[in-house]
Amino acid sequence: MLAILLDGDLLDAIKIAHDVIPFGVKAEGRIGGRRRKLDATKQREIAESVITGRKSGADMARRYIVSQSTVSRIVAAHRVQPELSENS
Residue 80 has pLDDT above 60, yes or no: yes
Residue 33, pLDDT score: 79
Q: Residues near 53 by Cβ (< 8 Å), separated by ≥ 6?
A: none
Is-contact 71 60, C-beta < 8 A? yes
Query: pLDDT tens across 29-79, in order?
Result: 667 778 889 999 999 999 999 999 999 999 999 999 999 999 999 999 999
- Does the pTM surpass 0.75? The reply is no
At residue 1, the pLDDT reads 46
